[in-house]
A and B are shown apart, each in its own frame.
Chain A
């Protein structure tokens, strides 16, 4: 820090859109997991859990429910995030 020309930042600026971007990554991760399970070796997706195959649990219950939860949380956080400050106006000429 000492000798650095950069100003010292105490509070890092965080985009109010960050929750939405994180949620998009999470939804895509869920879908990627779906694809991996579809082509997993030894037919892992067909293993039964409480009578239903892993692939059906994941595709019909886990992915939709988790994606909706992530989306709702992200949208609500974006809605309740404080509005960004207005752009600084140039000082009035004296």
Chain B
């Protein structure tokens, strides 16, 4: 999920991209730096926060499974196939504990397999800073004459509406009915055009074209990509956000990613070696993910027409490699993603198993047997798979899961050590989270709906403190 999220954020030229990258590197490092006392205070399973961590872990796994669903679509299969494959891998890791030694190798191995091919792209396309500078100085992000969107046409992944800023001659690559909304000075009119293969339609500036999922279209070479930033400068510097919106986005991401990520970072088992290797692997992986996004956008600006989590990776790979190497490298990266999922599930399983044992201890019962624990974990895996099948944005699931953990588990524990006060804080935070996410409070700006943690975290902190004071 980190690979897909970072690559997509860089490719989109989102203003919060640098914050996303910095937070994703910093959060696990802060987790590694926690002292034993702080770790016990923040992370040991107990009380209301455990429910929040369970919800968060379910959302995090759903995000990872959803990415595999997008991978299946990238490979020409249905989303359900990818979700089923991901769920099978997760169930295997959860159930087959004898293979634990192998699963431990999955994360570094998968990360290496997924990131190494970006070196081929860098070797062919140039250094990252020159690529960034060249992309950021383009007067417009346009369709290349050799792009598949221009030569043979491609299918639109999701139902979409394209808004054109300049005249654009589009060609139907398959028979279809296109709905065009024309905006004249006096009125708005909607026309439907029945087109056969090869029929062309010229759209004027301001026109909107609604396309059904799967519609095959060809665009005009040299024209702006309608879903991309209008220019390289707009991509590099972000698109039209006020200072308050930028600050809200940065704080929302920092609180969610750092708060939630700290809770998921493992304690190091082999300190001397791991103290060097783990941070370096993390840095390499996140930097590699950012490079995939950069080269994806530089080589294929039209990737924004393919709103899939891993589009930058596969578009960059497709543009940078030719001939028989392309399917081979695509297969290697897809395999690496499956292996990486196995490693992610291993870490996820450890956190969830600790939660189950802690819950049993809180109820004064011994920990469940291995079979019962596997059944419980399998149930959570299937719930995550069902969530992923709904087709929600994986990045929203990921940041939502981290935000729930940060606001409802970590923040109340930071506020007070008293369990009852923590419970009050977590409940108040949950209500605030729901109100902000559902946009139920009209006086809140849209930034709070996009980042509910901005309301939930301070609410949970304040209520936990007040409850502690009231109990004295």
What is A's interface to B at a CB cutoff of 8 Å?
Answer: 17, 20-21, 23-24, 27-28, 30-31, 34-35, 38-39, 43, 46, 48, 50-53, 55-56, 58-60, 63-65, 67-68, 71-72, 74-76, 78-80
Interface residue ranges of B342-356 to A (CB < 8 Å): none
Q: Are A64 and B19 in contact (CB under 8 A)?
A: no
A39-B275 CB under 8 A given contacts A23-B33, A60-B21, A65-B283: no
A65 CB to nearest chain B CB (Å)? 7
Q: Are B250 and A35 in contact (CB under 8 A)?
A: yes
Residues of B within 8 Å of A34, CB to CB, are 18-19, 22, 250, 254
Q: Are A27 and B33 in contact (CB under 8 A)?
A: yes
What is the size, in residues, of chain B's interface with A at 8 Å between Cβ atoms?
Answer: 43
Residues of B within 8 Å of A28, CB to CB, are 30
Q: Are B254 and A72 in contact (CB under 8 A)?
A: no
Q: Are B276 and A50 in contact (CB under 8 A)?
A: no
Residues of B within 8 Å of A46, CB to CB, are 236-237
Q: List 4 extra interface pairs beyond A23-B33, A60-B17, A64-B22, CB under 8 A.
A: A68-B25, A68-B280, A75-B268, A75-B279
The distance in angstroms between the C-alpha atoms of A21 and B393, with both chains bound, is 36
A60-B290 CB under 8 A given contacts A24-B33, A39-B247, A71-B32: yes
What is B's interface to A at a CB cutoff of 8 Å?
Answer: 15-19, 21-23, 25-26, 29-30, 32-35, 129-130, 132-133, 136-137, 236-237, 243, 246-247, 250-251, 254, 258, 268, 271-272, 275-276, 279-280, 282-283, 286-287, 290
- Say whether chain B's binding surface is mostly helix, strand, loop, or mixed: helix
A69 CB to nearest chain B CB (Å)? 9
The distance in angstroms between the C-alpha atoms of A23 and B26, with both chains bound, is 11
A79-B287 CB under 8 A given contacts A50-B129, A53-B237: no
Among A23, A30, A38, the residue within 8 A (CB) of B250 is A38
In the complex, which residue of chain B has the Cβ closest to the Cβ of A34? B22
Q: Are B26 and A43 in contact (CB under 8 A)?
A: no
A38-B254 CB under 8 A given contacts A30-B26, A51-B132, A59-B18: no
Q: Are B287 and A64 in contact (CB under 8 A)?
A: yes
B248 CB to nearest chain A CB (Å)? 10
Closest 4 CB pairs of A and B: A59-B18, A51-B133, A75-B275, A63-B22
